[in-house]
Amino acid sequence: MLRGGYLFYEVGRRAAAFAAEHPDAELIRMGIGDVTRPLVPAVIEALHKAVDDMSRAETFHGYGPDFGYDFLREAILRRDYAARGVSLDLDEIFVSDGAKCDVGNIQELFSSDAVVAVMDPVYPVYVDTNVMSGRSGRFDEQKGGYERIVYMPCRAENGFVPELPKERADVLYLCFPNNPTGMTLSKEHLKRFVDYARQSGALLLYDSAYESYISDPAMPHSIYEIEGAKECAVEFRSMSKTAGFTGTRCAYTVVPKAISARDTLGNTVRLRDLWARRVSTKFNGVSYITQRGAAAAYSKIGNEQVLAVVADYMENARIIREGLQQAGYTVYGGVNAPYIWLKVPHGDSWKFFDELLSGYHIIGTPGAGFGSAGEGYLRMTAFATRENTIRAMERIKRGSV
């Protein structure tokens, strides 16, 4: 059974209660990871044109291909993979309406006794969807997690890099650049997971929704940059944070044909075929209009515009990181990811959330909401406007609103 409420509901509830009591307070929202900049001009232009296509019988589009239009999948292959030396086939790319749905739905392919391992702190969707499917035991208050789920703690002491699970794990969820810690994983570290998966037969689910925020040239953008990953890893990508599609909805999942799985009869099957079966049974594709908009983000001009927006958010990240450091805080992340992971001086993340809200009128996200290893930290996002980001840091440095 699922425990507790959704983290962002409680954050919203406390913020609303404070706002009701203090109607003049100008709250600065640095909690929920939603973008604030509009879609870039190349995308808007393509969306308008696609709407016009729908108005004429000759260019009208009804049901599209379940796995996405080739014009988008080809653009993905070219810019996200071939450009980084990774070759994939078109039928290994599945376009969807969001990485949240995909990372949440993929567990439908696994048997109910599969053992799932997650990083702690963690994007809650990985855990909650497995709990909803009965793949966990009860929530153990002492352990701070569910029975039968393997947790890989990521703390300052291990550089926020998960260690390989000591218990058996069939499926490992990895997320880099990480939400919420903002940390990335080097090729050497990632290789350890790939080697582990190949040796043990485990499956890696690699969520790289924040890949476009990587600035360090040494960091891998895709798990397929690691040799052997195509045999053991599924990769999830999203247009949400890259191209501002949080409200427009477009993402994709890569399931290489080289990954094999065992079905209930003991037959060896391709995981790609199972996912294709699931997608075509339960999904009717992303709208033509949306996919045209997404493809425009992959054009030369669209890509330049999108990267300029990402750079702008990353300037906010720098302002937050340096502002907090100047105010005497220890911070992590914010270099290759839009998230800054602040070490809470007294260690109580919900108490610090309340102090930040009442003392500075700033809304963050308490680390405890991402898992027990998140206690002692608070997440801030770089998605606020530049003006609000600067104002927030001024308040913190000044020590008052």
Closer residue to ligand PLP, CB minimum distance, 288 or 370: 370
Q: Would you say 183 and 154 are in contact if contact means Cβ atoms under 8 Å apart?
A: yes
Minimum distance of ligand PLP from residue 126's CB (angstroms): 9
C-beta of 36: minimal distance to ligand PLP in Å? 14
- Least distance CB 285 / ligand PLP (angstroms): 16
Q: Where are the alpha helices (DSSP H) in 245-385?
A: 271-282, 288-296, 300-326, 349-360
Residue nearest to ligand PLP (CB): 98
Tell me whether residue 212 or residue 323 sits nearer to ligand PLP (CB atom): 212
Q: How far is the CB of 240 from ligand PLP (least distance, A)?
A: 3
Could you please report the per-residue DSSP string of 68-120? --HHHHHHHIIIIIGGGT----GGGEEEES-HHHHHHHGGGGS-TT--EEEEE
Alpha-carbon distance 216 to 335, whole Å?
8
In the complex, least distance from residue 315 CB atom to ligand PLP, rounded to whole angstroms: 20
- 8 A C-beta contact, residue 283 and residue 68: no
CB of 100 to ligand PLP, least distance (A): 3
Residues contributing to the site for ligand PLP (CB under 6 A): 33, 98-100, 103, 123, 175, 179, 207, 209, 238, 240, 246, 251
Select 39 or 393, whichever has its Cβ closest to ligand PLP.
Answer: 39
Q: How far is the CB of 98 from ligand PLP (least distance, A)?
A: 3
Beta carbon of residue 246, minimum distance to ligand PLP (angstroms, whole number): 5
* 293 in Cβ contact with 46 (< 8 Å): yes
Residue type for position 133: S
User: DSSP states of 315-354 as a string?
Assistant: HHHHHHHHHHHHTT--EEE-SSSSEEEEEPTTS-HHHHHH
Nearer to ligand PLP, 31 or 33 (CB): 33
How does DSSP assign 27-55, residue by residue?
-EE-SS----SPPPHHHHHHHHHHHHHTT
Backbone dihedral angles phi then psi of residue 118, each to the nearest 5 degrees: -135, 155
Amino acid at 323: G
Residue 269's nearest CA partner among 278, 277, 279, 261 is 261
Determine phi and psi for 29, rounding to 5 degrees.
-95, 110
State the minimum distance, in angstroms, from the CB of residue 250 to ligand PLP: 8
Q: How many angstroms separate the CA atoms of 66 and 284, rounded?
A: 5
Closer Cβ to ligand PLP, 100 or 221, answer by number: 100
Contact 82, 107 (CB under 8 A): no
Nearest CB to ligand PLP, comparing residues 117 and 209: 209
For ligand PLP, the closer of residues 96 and 389 by Cβ is 96
- By beta-carbon proximity to ligand PLP, the closer residue of 65 and 124 is 124
Residue with smaller CB distance to ligand PLP, 98 or 323? 98
